[in-house]
Structures are given as C-alpha cells and as structure tokens.
Copies of this chain bind each other. A is one copy, B any other.
Amino acid sequence: MALKAQVLYDFTAEPGNNELTVKEGETITVTNKSIGGGWIEAQNSRGEVGLVPEDYIEVSRSVFDSHAYKSCENSNLSIIHHSPPFHPSLASLVHLSQASNGNDPWSAWNADPSGGTNNNWASNPEGTQTGKSAPDPWGNVSQGHPQAYQGPASLSSCFVFLLSLNMCRFPGFSKSGPELYLLCKQIAKGKDKLSIYAQVGEVGPVWSYPETQIDCIVADPKKGSKMYGLKSYIEYQITPNTTNRPVNHRYKHFDWLYERLLDKFGSAIPIPSLPDKQVTEGRFEEEFIKMRMERLQGWMSRMCRHPVISGSDVFQLFLTYKDEKDWKTGKRKAEKDETVGVMIFTTIEPEAADLDPLEVEQKCEQFSKFTKAMDDSVKEILTVGNEHWKRCTGPLPKEYQRIGKALQNLSTVFTSSGYQGESTLTDALTAAGKTYEEIAQLVAEQPKKDLHFLMETNNEYKGLLGCFPDTIGVHKAAIDKVKEGDKLVAANKITTQDKVAMSKRLSTMSYTLQAEMNHFHSNRIYDYNRVMQQYLEEQVKFYETIAGKLRQAHGQFTTM
C-alpha cells in the first residue's frame, strides 16, 4: 500500500543533496521509510523523488490530533516510531507511573472531569509496551520530538507553551506530577545523591559545586556525509577542559542530549532549548554554521557551568565518550534512566533543617515574581535592541553615506570652479566626505561587534526564563498538594506518615528551587557584568574610532 503523507512545514532541498523540496499542505507518497537518520524518501505529485525530513511530514492515518502539536511540535513520523509526540518530562511521568507498580495510589485524582478520559497520550495508541522489559518508546526522542523553530527571539517559548497546553488539557494528569515524588515509596540512595548546602547568613541553599569548573570548546565544524554520500551533515568538535580530548557530535546529538537533560532534570532545573532548531534553508551556509556553533557553544557552556548537569552521567558521556561503542552503550543506558521527571527530587539531599511550608510558598512566590519581571525586562531590551539594530544597519549608515556623498559632490563642484588655490579645500572636503562614508560602514558593522552579544545573552536568558514557569509550576502544584494534606488524611487517601513525608519532600523541592535560583542569580550577575563590559568596551572603541577619523578630517581644513 502506498503510504500517503501530509507535509506539515515547507522544506527547501539543499542543492546536490538528493533532497526534495516540499510545501506545507502538500500530499506526498512515502517511497522508502527505511532511509534512517531522520529522513524518508518520498515522491511528490509531479513524480519527483527525494529525501524529506520525517519530522516535516505526517502520515495520513495518524491517530493524533495533528493540529494540537503542530502548533508547537513538529509531527514525527508516528507510523515508524510509534512514539506519541508529547512532552518528554510528562512522558517520563507516565513511564514511571506505569513502570513503578500497577497499584496507582492517585487514580482517584485522575477522575478529574477532563483528565484521563480522552487521554490518547497516556495510553499508547500503537500498543507498544512501556514496561521495563519492552523497548523504551522514547529511545529515539531526539529524532521523534523536534520542537517548532525557535529563532533567536523565541528560544524555548515553545517549551512553555507546550507544557501549559498539556496542563490545560490534562489537569488531573498534570497534577499527578509532584505527587509521584511527594508520596513515592523509595528514595534513591548512595552515589547518585545530589547535595545542597544551606549557607546561613549568605545567599541560602546552594548546589554543591565541583572544585574544577568544567567547560568545553565547540569548534571546527566539518561537513560529513553518510549513506554513501546521499546525506550531508555538519559535525562539530567538542573539547572538554577535563580530558582535552575532542569528541565529534552532530546537531542531532546535541538535541538528543537536550532531550535527555530535559527528561531527567526538567522538573528541577530549567533546561534551555537548543538554539536554531528546524532550520531548513541555508543549513550548510558558512554564516549559519558559524552562528549555530556560537550558540551551541553558549548552550554547552551554560550546561557545563551547572554542577548537577555537568556532573551527570549523560552529560559526561556526551563530552568524553571514548569510541562509537562506548557512545552507543552510554546512549542506551541514558535512555533507560528511570530517575527522570519529578523523581529527580529523590536524589536530592539538602544538608539543612526542613523548611516551613509557609516559607516555601513565600520563596516560590518571590521567584515566580522575579523571573516574570526579568522576563519582561529582558524582552524590553530585546525589543529596543532589535530596533536599534535595524536603525544601525539600515537608515543610519545610509544617512552617513549620503552626507559623505554630498560633501564629495560639493568637492567635485568646487574643483570645477577654475579658481586658483582651490585644491586644499577640495582635498579636505573629499577626505571629510570619505570619512563619513567610513563612519557609515563603522555604524553598520558595529552591531555585530557589540549589540550582537548583548542580544545573544538576553536571548539566552529569555529562553532560560521561559523554562521557569514550568519548574515553578511543578513546585506550586506540590505546595497545593501538601496544603491538602489534612484533608487527604481525613479522607483516608493518605496516611499521617505520608503527610509528614510530603512536607519533608516539599522542603527538599524548595531547597532545590532555592539552590537553582541562587545558581541562576550568580550566573546572571556574572553574565550581565561580562556582556555589559564587552558591550561598553566596544562602544567606547567605536566612538573613539569615529572621533579619531573626524579629527584627522578636521586637520585638513584651513582658514589661514
């Protein structure tokens, strides 16, 4: 049977790469779905055959509400992957709740009017088992769950949108999140424990930071190919300062890492989205590769700076795998990790007294307010910066150019006067005119030297801040649940011990949030100091350069 598919997004073929250009809404026929590497071979109505990213199409008999996730996630080719396209951190919850034991203590809460009834995402439509012994359906998440294109101005906003969408549609399910941890029977032990230190009199709870700060250099993008040259890709070289031994990764590997980190730490630590997803055109253009590399570097550095993330097995695997076999093994292991979603809190051990729930709520409210306010402020800077960018690269240099031309034209006219002793003035006017042309160029090029970094940093923070409502949302849900403690005990839904445990675990969650906020704050202070220094330094140079050029032009005029 010919497998028909709908094209969800425009895709423009890279020349000489065996790709097929398709338009959103077009119907194509899948001619080979076993190409692999995230590609399928398809034929369009004009009979042209070529490769198309499987994320860009939707096979017609898909059971999912394509509209719902089309608005935020690209559809994966569900037929092939059998993986429902929903948010991994929530996916993990299902996974765990199904995996832990069949006796779900919170099934009563799932009776919420809108919850659990029409829940396609909770039940697996293709009937693939999600138990421990079955192949993990999210094993290929990096290919199966691409997110909508997040340009520099909308980093990770999609992630937020998706979560709130899910919460709206499945509130009962969503609420089960924190309870999974608050009332779970086992708490992880041993070497996996993550310590938080509560420093009295200082900033408060902080993560345990490693003695040596991990960092890495993302460099040397190289074009590689596979499938006998059928498919091309860019491979980046990542060199961690710990081993000083480079490893190679394609963008899709970064994406795999991102999905793993989101899956594992997303409930406690905001994981910013990877930059520049869903880029189709110009993927092999030098400018784009350079920009993507710069942003991957920024993303990696931010991950390295986080003590919990940088210390995790999956991150270390990404940075230091020895060979292909090592990578494959580690990959499989990471994909089978069960301590994901809210269960990450089971690994956290605050070295401090339990917190009063009131204080927890207060802190949470403060963080919520702050991140919202900063989000607004960062967006303001981005808006203003964007306008400034446009002016500096558009009308302003054009104006300086016109000033320069006008002065040079005057000089040309003066040269034609036939008057003796004109040349000093005409030379000076020409020089002044050229100076303004040079200023035009300086003005146009300046944003790349300073505003660019200010914008990139603020973009990064916009992305990061976009993750907070999610993290804080999990936290607030936990607070609400703990508040219901007495009622739940009275209704025999939980035991008194459960209630005490819940309160203690909420305290752990709060310490985590506080440590995370403190991590955020210290990074923020460093980042903004650094980027402002850089910005102002370049601005000073810029104005000094112009002043210097004008001083030189000035010297040529004479009123002797």
A-side residues, CB < 8 A to B, are 202-203, 366, 369-370, 373-374, 376-378, 380-381, 384-385, 387-388, 391, 395-396, 399, 402-403, 406-407, 409-410, 412-414, 416-422, 424-425, 428-429, 432, 517-518, 521-522, 524-526, 528-530, 532-533, 536-537, 539-540, 543-544, 546-547, 550-551, 553-554, 557-559
Chain B residues contacting A432 (CB-CB under 8 Å) are: 532, 536
Contact B370–A413 (Cβ < 8 Å): yes
* 29 A–B contacts from the bound complex (CB under 8 Å): A370-B418, A373-B416, A374-B410, A374-B414, A376-B413, A377-B409, A377-B410, A377-B413, A380-B409, A381-B410, A384-B399, A384-B402, A388-B399, A391-B395, A396-B396, A417-B521, A419-B517, A419-B518, A419-B522, A428-B529, A428-B532, A432-B532, A432-B536, A529-B557, A529-B558, A529-B559, A537-B554, A543-B543, A543-B544
> Measured between C-beta atoms, what is the minimum distance from A234 to chain B in Å?
32
Residues of chain B within 8 A (CB-CB) of A399 are: 384, 387-388, 391
Task: Determine how close the nearest CB of chain B comes to the CB of A397; give it in whole angstroms.
Answer: 12
A547:B544 contact, CB within 8 angstroms: yes
Report the bound CA distance from A305 to B547 in whole Å: 34
Bound Cα distance from A412 to B399, whole angstroms:
36
Contact B553 A536 (CB under 8 A): yes
How far is B416's CA from A524's CA once the two chains are assembled, in angstroms?
14
Residue on B with the closest CB to A531?
B557
Q: Which of B410, B417, B550 contacts A540 (CB 8 A)?
A: B550
State the CA gap A537–B557 with chains docked (Å). Answer: 11
Contact B547 A551 (CB under 8 A): no
* Complex A-B, nearest 4 residue pairs according to Cβ-Cβ distance, in ascending order: A536-B554, A543-B547, A419-B521, A533-B557
Residue of B nearest to A542 (CB): B547
Is A425's CB under 8 angstroms from B529's CB? yes
Main DSSP-derived SS at the A contact region: helix
Residue on B nearest A526 in the bound complex, by CB:
B559
Cα–Cα, bound, A116→B239 (Å): 97
Q: How far is the CB of A214 from chain B (nearest CB, A)?
A: 19
- A395 contact set on B, CB distance < 8 A: 391
- For A381, the chain B residues whose CB sits under 8 A away are 406-407, 410
Docked-complex contact B559 and A533, CB < 8 angstroms? yes
What residue of chain B has the Cβ atom nearest to residue A533's Cβ?
B557
Please, which residue of chain B has its CB at the minimum distance from the CB of A517? Answer: B419
Task: Across the interface, name the chain B residue whose C-beta is closest to A522.
Answer: B419
Do the beta carbons of B540 and A547 come within 8 Å of each other?
yes
Please name the residue on chain B nearest to A546 by beta carbon. B543
Residues in B neighbouring A553, C-beta threshold 8 A: 536
Decide: A403 and B421 in contact? CB cutoff 8 A.
no
> Is A533 within 8 A of B554, CB to CB?
yes
A551 to B536 alpha-carbon distance, docked (Å): 7
Give the interface centre of A428, A521, A525 by most chain B CB atoms within 10 Å.
A525
Q: A276 to chain B: closest CB distance in Å?
A: 25
Out of B409, B419, B543, name the residue touching A550 (CB < 8 Å). B543
- With A543-B544, A559-B530 known as contacts, the answer to whether A417 contacts B370 (CB < 8 A) is yes
Max chain B C-beta neighbours (<10 A), residue from A409, A518, A522: A409
* Given A202-B420, A419-B518, 11 new contacts (CB under 8 A): A370-B413, A374-B410, A378-B410, A384-B399, A422-B525, A425-B528, A529-B558, A532-B554, A540-B550, A543-B546, A544-B544
Are A373 and B413 within 8 A (Cβ)? Answer: yes
Which of chain B's residues has its CB closest to A420's CB?
Answer: B203
Specify which chain B residues have a CB less than 8 angstroms from the CB of A418 in the assembled complex.
366, 370
Q: Measured between alpha carbons, how far is A388 from B537 in the docked complex, in Å?
A: 27
Min Cβ gap A89→B in Å is: 26
Chain B residues closer than 8 Å to A526, beta-carbon distance = 559
Q: In the complex, what distance in Å separates the CA atom of A547 from the CA atom of B544?
A: 6
Query: How far is it, in angstroms, between the C-alpha of A383 and the C-alpha of B94 when the chains are bound?
Result: 69
Which chain B residue shows the least CB distance to A391? Answer: B399
Determine the residue in chain B with the shortest Cβ distance to A203. Answer: B420
Residues of B within 8 A of A559 (CB): 526, 529-530, 533
Q: How far is the CA of A410 from the CA of B378 in the complex (A)?
A: 7
State whether A547 touches B550 (Cβ < 8 A): no
Contacts of A374 in B (CB 8 A): 410, 413-414
Contact B544 A532 (CB under 8 A): no
